[in-house]
Copies of this chain bind each other. A is one copy, B any other.
Amino acid sequence: MPHLGDATRGRILFGGDYNPEQWPEEIWHEDVRLMRDAGVNSVTLGVFSWSRLEPEPGAREFGWLDTLMDLLHAAGIGVVLATPTSSPPPWMGRLHPETLPRTEDGRVEWWGGRQHFSHSSAAYRRYAAAITEDLAARYGGHPALTMWHINNEYCTFDHGDEAAAAFRRWLRERYRTLDALNTAWGTAFWSQGYDTWDGVLPPRTPHYLKNPTQVLDFRRFTSDMLLECYRAERDIVARHTPHLPVTTNFMPLWIGQDAWRWAEEEDVVSVDLYPDPRDPFGAQYAAMVQDLTRSQARGPWMLMEQAAGPVNWRGVNHPKPRGMNRLWSLQAVARGADAVCYFQWRQSRQGAEKFHSGMVSHAGEEGRTFQEVKQLGADLAKLGPHAADRHITAEVAVLHDWHAWWAGAQDARPSTEVDLPAVLTAWHRALWENNLTADFAHPEHDLSGYRMVLVPQLYALTDAAIDNLLGYVRGGGVLVCGFLTGVADEDDRVRDGGMDARLRELFGIRVLHEWWPLDPGETVETDGFHGTLWSEELEPAADARVETVYRRGELEGMPAVLRRDRAWYLSTLPEPDALRTLLARIAAEAGVRPVLEGLPPGVEAVRRGDLLFLLHHGREPVTVVLAGAHHDLLTGTTVTDEITLGRYGVAVLRP
């Protein structure tokens, strides 16, 4: 199987999306000059080129692309070639209106933007296959080609009639009989029993609440249909170039794709990552996404898109302060990236994304943005031979599952304040601030290699997942579990007692009387900390050990945190300091140690292969104590006993 290493070959890929069709040909030569200047070694072509490649149905215009492939190859720059299928040309909607998606409210999503295709449309798929076939045939043998990039940020739902038919086919395959569907969806309630397959629809806006299992299955279906689109194109290019890796770029923690399942179908896992430069926890959010992506990749991964400066889609779009682009890029390498790329090479002057920065900003070569890009290119060139293809070892795993998210993120639930990504982020932050390196894992993955497993929240769990958790603890593992876990089965059917009985036994919960979700901003007092978001009226089992109890109010004296042996249960979300302290204590008990002890606040430490990355997220200089002498790859100097990191400073050390 081809993999990322086939493209990197000991280097870290550096570059970005390149959309030269926006520019006259003379700019292309200027681009290549600047790319070489900045150490760019890889660009992605063709992401939005469909209407240029196929200006009318069936036409082909490849000449401009031939020129670019040759030009880039001549400059020693590899090409990741994209299938252009994320943005169909206007003629497709005009000639085949059924290719346009419909929202749950029945509104058409017209051309004039991007991603306006129905995954279920036969016409769309036919055109997509044809252009992919022709691209692969023409460029499969081109020496510049290093990788395939299928489509872009798959994300489009469709509730229209062709999608409805496809949904029914998908459901027939899943359930075989209408009886099975009626049972799984609980249609006995609210008189929703289906008597014919024809009556089953996507969850179009009803008068009142939707059927939650219908919504859940529609999410599964959408992820699967988009994956079918991906696989169809992947299979075409793989037939032409079985030796070249294939990827499609994820949006991080995006709810629309079951990324565990998708990652299995990719040779290279890639992600687009856009933390807000103003977010004080932007670096931690990035670390979480990087850990998740590395875990999906089971090794090195590709940062397909980031911004060299501001983006254009927030309310207020802040630029990156001096040094932040380099810091965050090297953080990605520290956490396993072997490719550091951007959207996009040259900032557009027209169109909807002209205020999204590029590696070459509107200010041009003299602009601070490009100057910093150049410095980063030099740094990456130094790191490549030592960092690329190296692995990262974690003793902690954080569990996440899209199906659990889909089941939980619905209307009409105990608290709409509970947002799974925010809960995941809170738990991951506690690890990150402790410099405890963590992988992510699926609840049915083999967990035996980890000393400690965290379940911030898995609202729905299959029986297999529950068995897996039980086996993990039985095997000596330490399990720490947050509230709203194991509530439902895979059909979103609430398990007996409101939480799976095996899990309740595992943690020492006799009766779960009531959930007490908290109002926005409300906290609940315990004898050790304040809890947020949630609390519970629990009756512990006789053999449970109550670690912390609620104080005051209706829950006075009831367990906030309890455990049975190595299985911990948190019935609230402790405030950040408390969660950090608690997880540090449990980790110590589990024999898990941080990457480095005694780091100043804001300094992140990660080991990749034999390298120690120190990343300073603050603006005032700090000193880090080291054990003995280290070689600093970026400066080429040797540091002994301690190192001082300046504003947004990074050191990559080898003992």
Residues of chain A touching chain B, judged by Cβ–Cβ distance below 8 Å, are 19, 21-22, 48-52, 55-56, 84, 87-91, 93-94, 101, 105-116, 156, 185-196, 198-201, 203-214, 278, 309-310, 312-313, 315-319, 321-322, 348-356, 361-364, 366-369, 411-417, 491-494, 496-498, 511-520, 537, 554
Q: Judging by beta carbons under 8 Å apart, are B363 and A206 in contact?
A: no
**Chain B contacts for A189, CB-based, 8 A:** 19, 21-22, 48, 348, 350-353
Distance in Å: Cβ of A167 to nearest Cβ of chain B: 12
Q: Judging by beta carbons under 8 Å apart, are A192 and B350 in contact?
A: no
Partner of A211, one of B21, B112, B212, B214: B112
Q: Judging by beta carbons under 8 Å apart, are A352 and B316 in contact?
A: no
Interface residues of A: mostly helix, strand, loop or mixed?
loop
The complex places the Cα of A504 from the Cα of B296 at a distance, in Å, of 48
The complex places the Cα of A369 from the Cα of B491 at a distance, in Å, of 26
Q: Judging by beta carbons under 8 Å apart, are A413 and B312 in contact?
A: yes
**Chain B contacts for A369, CB-based, 8 A:** 513-514
Determine the residue in chain B with the shortest Cβ distance to A200. Answer: B90
Partner of A494, one of B113, B319, B362, B366: B362
Q: Judging by beta carbons under 8 Å apart, are A367 and B414 in contact?
A: no
Q: Judging by beta carbons under 8 Å apart, are B199 and A415 in contact?
A: no
Determine the residue in chain B with the shortest Cβ distance to A186. Answer: B350
**Chain B contacts for A210, CB-based, 8 A:** 112-113, 352
Q: Judging by beta carbons under 8 Å apart, are A511 and B363 in contact?
A: yes
Closest 10 CB pairs of A and B: A186-B350, A113-B206, A362-B498, A51-B193, A189-B351, A209-B352, A90-B199, A87-B191, A319-B514, A110-B204
Distance in Å: Cβ of A415 to nearest Cβ of chain B: 5
Q: Judging by beta carbons under 8 Å apart, are B491 and A193 in contact?
A: no
The complex places the Cα of A94 from the Cα of B353 at a distance, in Å, of 42
Q: Judging by beta carbons under 8 Å apart, are B108 and A350 in contact?
A: no
- Of the listed residues A90, A109, A186, the one surrounded by the most CB atoms of chain B closer than 10 A to its CB is A90
Distance in Å: Cβ of A613 to nearest Cβ of chain B: 25
Distance in Å: Cβ of A185 to nearest Cβ of chain B: 7
A209 and B363 in contact, given A198-B94, A355-B412, A493-B350 (Cβ under 8 angstroms)? no
Determine the residue in chain B with the shortest Cβ distance to A104. Answer: B110
The complex places the Cα of A220 from the Cα of B192 at a distance, in Å, of 30
Q: Judging by beta carbons under 8 Å apart, are A316 and B108 in contact?
A: no
**Chain B contacts for A519, CB-based, 8 A:** 278, 316
Q: Judging by beta carbons under 8 Å apart, are B201 and A513 in contact?
A: no
**Chain B contacts for A363, CB-based, 8 A:** 497-498, 511-514
The complex places the Cα of A88 from the Cα of B275 at a distance, in Å, of 47
- With A52-B191, A315-B415, A364-B497 given, can you name 12 additional A-B contacts, CB distance below 8 Å? A50-B191, A94-B199, A108-B204, A112-B203, A112-B210, A112-B214, A113-B206, A113-B209, A186-B349, A210-B352, A309-B514, A368-B537
The complex places the Cα of A520 from the Cα of B322 at a distance, in Å, of 23
Q: Judging by beta carbons under 8 Å apart, are B56 and A195 in contact?
A: yes
Distance in Å: Cβ of A95 to nearest Cβ of chain B: 9
Determine the residue in chain B with the shortest Cβ distance to A510. Answer: B366
A201 and B414 in contact, given A350-B189, A363-B513, A494-B350 (Cβ under 8 angstroms)? no
Distance in Å: Cβ of A355 to nearest Cβ of chain B: 5
**Chain B contacts for A107, CB-based, 8 A:** 105-106, 205
Q: Judging by beta carbons under 8 Å apart, are A110 and B511 in contact?
A: no
Partner of A313, one of B55, B114, B319, B412: B412
Q: Judging by beta carbons under 8 Å apart, are A193 and B368 in contact?
A: no
Q: Judging by beta carbons under 8 Å apart, are B417 and A316 in contact?
A: yes
The complex places the Cα of A210 from the Cα of B109 at a distance, in Å, of 11
The complex places the Cα of A312 from the Cα of B517 at a distance, in Å, of 12
**Chain B contacts for A362, CB-based, 8 A:** 494, 496-498, 512
Determine the residue in chain B with the shortest Cβ distance to A354. Answer: B494
Q: Judging by beta carbons under 8 Å apart, are B191 and A51 in contact?
A: yes
Partner of A52, one of B115, B193, B208, B415: B193
Partner of A195, one of B55, B84, B351, B491: B55
**Chain B contacts for A368, CB-based, 8 A:** 513-514, 537
Determine the residue in chain B with the shortest Cβ distance to A491. Answer: B350
The complex places the Cα of A321 from the Cα of B516 at a distance, in Å, of 10
The complex places the Cα of A354 from the Cα of B216 at a distance, in Å, of 15
